[in-house]
């Protein structure tokens, strides 16, 4: 098992890992539709933001330049730990409209604790030569950011690869020619249903470096245990928002359940502070409450894994039970287990 716990010092406080970063939509056209959770869910004093979206939202950016802090703009305490990615997912099908220097300047203005380098994610529709160009471009952007980074926050190099060897080679090259505090593995979302491929790519990154490893875009209930088992230190997701938009109710230990499939229940199966005193009808009519519950579900999934690990119980026995109800994820876990056992 590669699961591990660490504490890292950041400008706005200490961060205990592994940790889940909820994605905030601040700066996006839909505005910031994430309800309050910092403080009410003690496991999540953190947020993932999109630097490009905020930088391109002129009224908001003007307020930030004129003295309003990002955390004031989000309505969260000033000690909230912020990971600012470059917004690279927006470049999946469009042209890159920023530079490493411009993105670093914006991340400094946002007073983020962790900077993600500018990157160009892979696309399943693109040919191999085009994806290799994107891999190389992301490496060049990362090295340029490394040259210009002054160390006021952690710098994570964004890494992409279409096979394990590419991922390992990217990290080895960046480690040799750059100066990074960690690595953030991307291009996982388009292939997230291919569990075997995703777990192999993550494992190749994990074994290529002992530094902090973040995975972009994967943090749902099903993936969390796999990421933790593979030694991932942090991850992010907006699934709790998107799921609520589809009236999907997350249940720790199981997965998502559409509310219409459990409408016969008066009381919900989760005793979290959101659901504990409310009926199913209450939650159905309150989208913000459903989003908050989904965040509690993700925090609970992480707590459950940590409990199993810290109490000395066998993690693999736990995961055998956790995935037994899903043939696809069970096969992916069994493959990952075989690979991990050869490493430990």
- The terminus-to-terminus CA distance of the chain in angstroms comes to 7
Give the right CATH number for 1-343 from 3.20.20.105, 3.20.20.70, 2.40.50.100, 3.20.20.10: 3.20.20.105
pLDDT at 32: 66
Cβ distance 309 to 275 under 8 Å?
no
Torsional sign, CA 14, 17, 22, 28: positive
What per-residue confidence (pLDDT) applies to 270? 85
Q: Looking at residue 326, what is its pLDDT?
A: 79
pLDDT per residue over 292-302, tens digit each? Answer: 999 999 999 99
pLDDT of residue 31: 64
- Please identify every stretch of the chain with a pLDDT value under 50, giving residue numbers as ranges: none
- Spell 129-139 as b/e; 16+ CB within 10 A means b: eebeebbebbb
SS3 label, residue 194: coil
Give the Cα separation of 245 and 273 in Å (integer): 20
CA 332 – CA 226 distance, rounded (Å): 9
CA–CA gap between residue 106 and residue 57 (Å, rounded)? 12
pTM of the model: 0.94
With tokens 């950016």, the residue in question is 61
CB 248 within 8 A of CB 298: no
Q: Is the CB of residue 298 less than 8 Å from the CB of residue 224? A: yes
- Residue 325: per-residue pLDDT: 78
Q: Which of 144, 235, 147 is nearest to 185 (CA)?
A: 235
pLDDT of residue 126: 67
């Amino acid at each position: 098992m590669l699961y591990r716990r660490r504490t890292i010092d950041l400008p706005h406080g200490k961060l205990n890992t592994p940790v889940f970063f909820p994605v905030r939509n601040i700066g996006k056209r839909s505005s910031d539709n994430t309800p309050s959770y910092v403080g009410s869910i003690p496991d999540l004093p953190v947020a993932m933001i999109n630097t490009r979206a905020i930088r391109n939202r002129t009224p908001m950016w003007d307020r930030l330049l004129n003295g309003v802090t990002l955390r004031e703009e989000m309505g969260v305490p000033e000690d909230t730990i912020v990971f600012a990615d470059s917004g690279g997912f927006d470049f999946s099908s469009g042209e890159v409209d920023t530079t490493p220097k411009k993105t670093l300047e914006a991340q400094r203005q946002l007073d983020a604790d962790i900077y993600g380098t500018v990157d160009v994610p892979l696309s399943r529709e693109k040919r191999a030569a085009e994806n290799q160009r994107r891999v190389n471009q992301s490496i060049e952007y990362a090295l340029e950011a490394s040259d210009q980074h002054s160390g006021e926050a952690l710098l994570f190099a964004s890494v992409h690869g279409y096979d394990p060897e590419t991922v390992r080679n990217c990290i080895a090259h960046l480690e040799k020619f750059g100066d990074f505090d960690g690595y953030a593995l991307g291009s996982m979302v388009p292939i997230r249903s291919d569990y075997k491929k995703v777990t192999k790519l993550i494992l190749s990154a994990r074994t290529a470096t002992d530094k902090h490893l973040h995975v972009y875009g994967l943090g749902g209930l099903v993936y969390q245990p796999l990421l933790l088992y593979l030694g991932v230190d942090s991850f992010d997701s907006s699934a709790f928002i998107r799921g609520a938009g589809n009236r999907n109710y997350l249940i720790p230990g199981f997965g998502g359940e559409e509310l219409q499939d459990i409408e016969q229940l008066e009381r919900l199966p989760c005793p979290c502070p959101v659901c504990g005193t409310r009926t199913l009808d209450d939650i159905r009519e309150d989208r913000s409450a459903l989003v908050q519950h989904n965040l509690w579900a993700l925090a609970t999934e992480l707590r459950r894994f940590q409990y199993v690990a810290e109490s000395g119980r066998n993690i693999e026995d736990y995961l055998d039970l956790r995935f037994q109800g899903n043939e696809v994820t069970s096969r992916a876990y069994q493959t990952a287990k075989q690979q991990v056992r050869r490493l430990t």
